[in-house]
Amino acid sequence: MIQPLIAVTMGDPVGIGPEITVKALSDPAVHALCRPLVLGDSSVLHSAMALTGQHLHIREVSCASEAHFQPGTLNLIPLSSLPSSPAWGRPDRETGQAMVHYILRAIDMALAGEVAAIVTGPINKYAMNLSGYAYSGHTELLAERTGTRDYVMMLAGDRIRVSLVTIHTALRNVPDLITPEKIRTTLRVTHRALVERFAIPAPSIAVAGLNPHAGESGMFGDEEERILQPALEQARSEGIDAQGPFPPDTLFYHVDQGRFDAVVAMYHDQGLIPFKMRHFEDGVNTTLGLPIIRTSVDHGTAYDLAGRGRADHRSLLAAIHMAAIHARNTMAVPL
């Protein structure tokens, strides 16, 4: 079977993205899974190789048909010409613009059907905004570029999958952003992705409450009764196995024990703290609801580690693995 063609963006040139890209692409297992095409910068990737002691042949190509997909070769569409000695951990407008160009090109390739999926390396949101792109991250850029209204951020590992109702917003805004519509959309998009991408025919989804003890019958907040319960009932009437709302403090224990296929969390850290306790090394961030497959690492640019050669690349390996599986499950292969 022909392996799916996957675009891998190098991420922020002065973060750990280039290093983990080189490490992941040196793993023969990646080539057994897919045909990876990197979008990034040749000089920076050479610097990353020097850090890690990896020796890959970087083959610069303008499109997939020029690539040689074999272990030992990193096929690169070069989209920037940055200095050969990166200022690790110190972003500027040029590095910020470069990393956004890698993402934009990857999205366009996926929309045009030139690749089966995209896997994105970590970017720094401050650097993204510094370079003139006013987004909270990849997710909002992907949604806008693909014209997607209903999208969901999911963090996924083999024990915990968590979808977020609200994403990058101040905690004080969260209660006002949680509406029955938003919860229903999160449930619908998550349910559909579990069936179509994760190949779980009848998934069960747990919903976390917003308040301590899921509100304690209204003593500690009424969002559960006023907003979450009606949203859950509506989802159930559509055939979605949505359960809860559950007290958030114990729910993740049960999810980790395998009781549910996924959990819907009300806000970023409610979901991501337990997720990263379990899956920091091998977790994957994936955007659901898009017309394209997008996975990413679950960590950031780690400027404190950049340039040292000590970054862990297992989350990127897991993201590539998931992209390849989802491409197969949705029959978006071969390309």
Ligand X SMILES: NCC(=O)COP(=O)(O)O
Ligand Y SMILES: NC(=O)C1=CN([C@@H]2O[C@H](COP(=O)(O)OP(=O)(O)OC[C@H]3O[C@@H](n4cnc5c(N)ncnc54)[C@H](O)[C@@H]3O)[C@@H](O)[C@H]2O)C=CC1
Give the nearer residue to ligand Y in terms of CB position, either 22 or 311. Answer: 311
**Separation of alpha carbons 275 and 298, rounded Å:** 10
**Separation of alpha carbons 244 and 266, rounded Å:** 12
Does residue 42 bind ligand X (CB under 6 A)?
Answer: no
Measured at the CA of 152, the angle between CA 146 and CA 155, to 5 degrees, comes to: 120
Q: Which of the ranges 22-30, 51-59, 117-125, 154-162 carries the binding residues for ligand Y, by CB under 6 A?
A: 117-125
- Assess contact for 118 and 9: CB atoms under 8 A: yes
Q: Quick count: other Cβ atoms within 10 Å of Cβ 314?
A: 16
> According to the annotation, is 276 in a ligand binding site?
yes
- Assess contact for 194 and 203: CB atoms under 8 A: yes
Q: Residues touching ligand X: how many (CB under 6 A)?
A: 6
Give the nearer residue to ligand Y in terms of CB position, either 103 or 231. Answer: 103
Instruction: Select from 2, 32, 81, 126 the one that contacts ligand Y (CB under 6 A).
Output: 126
- Assess contact for 41 and 13: CB atoms under 8 A: yes
Name the minimum Å distance from CB 296 to ligand Y.
Answer: 4
Strands 5-9, 117-120: pairing kind: parallel
268-279 and 248-256 helices, crossing angle to 10°: 30
Does residue 139 bind ligand X (CB under 6 A)?
Answer: yes
- With CB under 5 to 8 Å by kind, the binding choice for 139 among ligand Y, ligand X, none is ligand X
- Assess contact for 265 and 163: CB atoms under 8 A: yes
Give the nearer residue to ligand Y in terms of CB position, either 142 or 214. Answer: 142
Biggest alpha carbon distance in the chain? 64
Does residue 304 bind ligand Y (CB under 6 A)?
Answer: yes
- With CB under 5 to 8 Å by kind, the binding choice for 242 among ligand X, ligand Y, none is none
Instruction: Select from 137, 157, 248, 289 the one that contacts ligand X (CB under 6 A).
Output: 137
Name the minimum Å distance from CB 66 to ligand X.
Answer: 29
- With CB under 5 to 8 Å by kind, the binding choice for 302 among ligand X, ligand Y, none is ligand Y
Q: Quick count: other Cβ atoms within 10 Å of Cβ 42?
A: 18
Structure tokens at 232: 């859950």
Does residue 312 bind ligand Y (CB under 6 A)?
Answer: yes
Q: Which of the ranges 12-20, 22-30, 72-80, 133-141 carries the binding residues for ligand X, by CB under 6 A?
A: 133-141
Give the nearer residue to ligand X in terms of CB position, either 3 or 296. Answer: 296
Instruction: Select from 213, 300, 309, 329 the one that contacts ligand Y (CB under 6 A).
Output: 300
- Assess contact for 142 and 148: CB atoms under 8 A: yes
Backbone region of residue 218 per phi and psi (left: phi > 0; alpha: psi in -120 to 50; beta: other values): left
Name the minimum Å distance from CB 8 to ligand X.
Answer: 15
Q: Which of the ranges 34-42, 131-139, 237-245, 319-327 carries the binding residues for ligand X, by CB under 6 A?
A: 131-139
Measured at the CA of 144, the angle between CA 168 and CA 146, to 5 degrees, comes to: 125
- Residue ranges of the binding site: 138-139, 168, 213, 268, 276, 285, 294
Residues that bind ligand X (CB under 6 A): 137-139, 272, 285, 296
